[in-house]
Amino acid sequence: MKTYGVIMAGGGGTRFWPLSRKARPKQFLNLSGKDTMVMDTANRLSKIAGTEDIFVVTSESHRDMTVELTKGTLLANHILGEPAARNTAACIGYAAMEIIKKYEDGIMVIVPSDHFIKDEAEFTNVMNRAVKIAEVTDRLVTIGIKPTFPCTGYGYIKNIESEDERYREVLEFVEKPNLETAEDYLISGEYAWNSGMFVWKASTILKYFERLLPDIYAYLVKIGNAMGTESEAAVIRETYPIIPKISIDYGIMERADGVLMLEGDFGWNDVGSFDALEDVYGSDENGNVNMANAHVIDTKDCILYGTNGSKLIAALGVEDLIIAQTDDVVLVCDKNRAQDVKLFVEQMAGTDSERYL
Amino acid sequence: MKTYGVIMAGGGGTRFWPLSRKARPKQFLNLSGKDTMVMDTANRLSKIAGTEDIFVVTSESHRDMTVELTKGTLLANHILGEPAARNTAACIGYAAMEIIKKYEDGIMVIVPSDHFIKDEAEFTNVMNRAVKIAEVTDRLVTIGIKPTFPCTGYGYIKNIESEDERYREVLEFVEKPNLETAEDYLISGEYAWNSGMFVWKASTILKYFERLLPDIYAYLVKIGNAMGTESEAAVIRETYPIIPKISIDYGIMERADGVLMLEGDFGWNDVGSFDALEDVYGSDENGNVNMANAHVIDTKDCILYGTNGSKLIAALGVEDLIIAQTDDVVLVCDKNRAQDVKLFVEQMAGTDSERYL
C-alpha cells in the first residue's frame, strides 16, 4: 500500500510574532537556518513517502505562497487550501478524503509543518516502523515523544507495553499538566509527549470520523463526492467553513479504542515559542542564542533574532530576554513570558497597529 | 558692554548612541520634542544676547550641518569650526579671541549645547544677573545648580555667601563624589552642581589664559593674530589641533581665585545619558517614558525611544530597560547601565560595525 505524507500547515504561529506574520506564518519562515519549516518538513518526509505523494494542507490564503515555496519538490495540486481554519480534525479528514477519492487508499503519515527534529535518521526509522504497523494492524498509530524534562506545555499520552513489542498501547491522552504532575509523569516512565504526529490508513481514519464525528463525516462525504467534478472548488468553498472546529485529539484520539503508540526519541521540539530556539540552535558560553547581527556586552541567557543582517541589535547588561527585530518591529520580551507573545497579536487585531500583524 | 552667547557644541554624545551618531551627535538631535538641542539652546540664549551675537563652536566636520540647522536664526560666520576636538579650554579661548579680535570686548555667556532647562524664565533671570555681575566685577562667574538629589554623576562647587548678596563666592571645585559624600554635600547646603555654564568678559578670561595656561594662550594669540587676514583658516587648521587638551574646569576654574557663583534653580538636566529622558519627558503611570511608537504589556519603568514612527517597539514583561530604535540599530540596555552605552561606540570603532557609529 502506498504511503502519503500529509503536512498540516494551517497554523498562525502568533507566539513567533513579529517574525511570524499573518501573510507569512511561522511554518513559512526559515527558523532552522536551513530552509522554511514547511520545506524542512517535506524533505524529512521524503525519506518515508515519495515527494510526489506528499500533501500540504494550508490556509487558502497561503496556498499560492506554499506552491511557490515547495516548487520543484512537491506537486502544486497536492497543496490543499482550506477556505477557513477548522482545526485538525477537518484538516486531516479533508486530506484523507482527497487520498481515498483521487488515489484509492493509502497510509497517511501526518505531521505538523512547524516542528524541529534533530535526529532525522531516527525520525525516518520510527516513521517507517509506524507505516508498517498501520498497514498490518489497521489501527490508529501516534508518535509519543520520550520526555526529557517535566514540560507543562505539552499534552501527554499514558501508554503501556503491549504483547507485540513493535508498539505500545495507548491508555489515555491527558491535558497539559501542572509542574508537580509533569514531574510525576516523567518519573513514572508511563507517559510520552503528544507530538501531534499520526500514522494510519485513509480508510481507517474515515471510519473513525463516521463513528465518532458523524456531522463532520457528512461534510467530508459531501466534499468527497464533489472531488474530481467541476463543482469541487465551489463545494469546498461552501462546505469547509461550516465544518465544526475540533482537534483530532479531542474528536477522535481521546475517544478511540486501541490506539497504538511508537516512542520517538529523535530530538523533537515543537518550536512553540521563541525560547525553543535555544534547543534548535544551542547557546554560546554566555547562554545567548545569537541569530542576529548583534553586539552584546554583559548580556546573558538572551535570545537574539534579526531578520535583516544589515540591522544591528545592541544589548547591554541584560538577562533572560528575547530580542527579535524585523524591518518594522522590535520585540523585547522576558524569556519566561515567551508564551505570551501572542498577546500582541490579540491586542493589536483590529487596531491602527493591525499592519504589524 | 555687549553680551555674546557662546554655545559649546563639540561633544560626541556617545552615551546617546544609537540616536547620537558620529555624523550627527546628540546636540543636533531633537530630544526635547521641540527642536534640535543646539537650536533650543540658541533660542534660550536669545533672551540674553541678540541672535546676531550668538556663536556656536563645533567640530569642523559638523560646521555645515550646524549652519544649516541654525539658518534664519544665527549668522553663518558665527558658527566656528574646530579642526580637532581640544576640550573646553581651547573652545572657550577660541571664542574669546574671536570676540576680542573681531568685535572688541564683550560679556561671554558660555553654555553647553546639549542641556535641558525646564524653567526658561528663571534661566534668563539668572543669566542676566550674571551678565551684570561679570560686567561690573571683571571676575569669573559660573552657574551652580541647586542639587535636588545626591547625584554622583556631576562635579560640585563648594560655595559660600558673600558680603554682596547678588552672588556667592566659590571656595572649591570638587570632583564627582561617591554616594556617601554626595549625600553629605546635599545636606550641608554648601555645594552646587557644576553646570559648565560660565559668564565673563572675553578680555577677563584671556587674562586667565595668559596667567594659568600660557602655552594655550600662545596658540590663541597666534590664531588671534591671523584673524581677519587671508591666512586665518590655514593658521587655525595648523595650530588648533596642537593646542593642549584640557577642560576649562581643570585649566582655569579650579585654579583661579575669586570665582563667583550664582545659584541656578531652573530645572536643569545635562541629558548625560538615556535615563535623563525621564526628567525631560516625565513618565506614565507605569513609570515608562514612551517616546516611540510602542505597544507595551506588563512593562514598567522603561524608556522607549524610536526615531521612526512607522516602526513599532513591542515590550512584554520587562522592567528598567532602555529600548531605543533607529532605522539600523536597536539598543536594549539595563537602565542602570545607561552611562555605559558609550562602550558600544568604543568597542565598535575600527571594526566592521563602524558604520553603525
Confidence band, pLDDT 50/70/90 cuts, at residue B105: very high
Residue A282 sits at φ, ψ, to 5 deg, of: 75, 165
- Kindly state whether B354 is in contact with chain A, defined as any CB-CB distance less than 8 angstroms: no
Record the pTM: 0.89
**What's the grid cell of residue B87?**
576640550
Best mutation target, A301, A330, A344, to test chain B (most B CBs within 10 A) = A330
ipTM: 0.89
B292 vs chain A: nearest CA distance in angstroms? 11
Interchain contact, A318 vs B334, CB within 8 Å: yes
* Burial class of residue B128 in the structure, from the number of CB atoms within 10 Å of its CB (0-12 exposed, 13-18 middle, 19+ buried): middle
CB contact under 8 A, B314 and A298: no
Residue A91 has a pLDDT of 98
Report the percent of chain B where pLDDT is more than 90. 92
Question: Residue A34 has what pLDDT?
Answer: 85
| pLDDT value of residue A70 | 97
Which candidate from B312, B329, B334 shows the least CB-CB separation from A329?
A: B312
Report d(CA A255, CA A247) in Å as an integer: 12
One CATH from 3.40.1350.10, 3.30.930.10, 3.40.50.300, 3.90.550.10 for A3-269: 3.90.550.10
For residue B11, how many other CB atoms are within 10 A of its CB?
Answer: 19
- Interface size between A and B, measured as CB pairs under 8 A: 114
- Please return the burial class of A288, using the count of CB atoms within 10 Å of its CB with bins 0-12, 13-18 and 19+: buried
Predicted local distance difference test score (pLDDT) of residue B109: 98
Mutate to test the interface with B, among A304, A312, A339 (most CBs of B within 10 A): A312
The fraction of chain A above a pLDDT of 70, given in percent, is: 100
CATH 3.90.550.10, chain A: domain bounds: 3-269
A63-67, A152-156, B97-101, B294-298: which has the minimum mean pLDDT?
Answer: A152-156
Work out the minimum CA distance from A345 to partner chain B, whole angstroms.
Answer: 11
pLDDT digits (tens, 9 = 90+) for B39-54: 999 999 999 999 999 9
- Say whether pLDDT at A165 is over 80: yes
pLDDT in tens, B253-287: 999 999 999 999 999 998 889 998 998 889 999 99
Contact B337 A317 (CB under 8 A): yes
What residues of B are in contact with residue A318 (Cβ under 8 Å)? Answer: 321, 332-334
Partner A contacted by B284 (CB < 8 A):
no
Question: Which residues of chain A are within 8 Å of residue B332 when distances are taken between CB atoms?
Answer: 313-316, 318, 321, 323, 332
| A chain contacts of residue B297, beta-carbon cutoff 8 Å | 340, 343-344, 347
Which of A332, A334, A336, A341 to mutate against chain B (most B CBs within 10 Å)? A332
B91 within 8 A of B249, measured Cβ to Cβ? no
Before B18, cis peptide (omega within 30)? yes
Q: Would you call B336 and A317 a contact, using CB atoms and an 8 Å cutoff? A: yes
Collapsed DSSP state (helix, strand, coil) of residue A74: coil
**Cα A19 to Cα A30: distance, rounded to the nearest angstrom:** 10
Of B314, B328, B343, the CB nearest to A312: B328
Q: Does B330 touch chain A (CB under 8 A)?
A: yes
CB contact under 8 A, B337 and A311: no
Question: Per-residue pLDDT tens for A282-310?
Answer: 999 999 999 999 999 999 999 999 988 89
In tens, the pLDDT along A222-248 reads 999 999 999 999 999 999 999 999 999
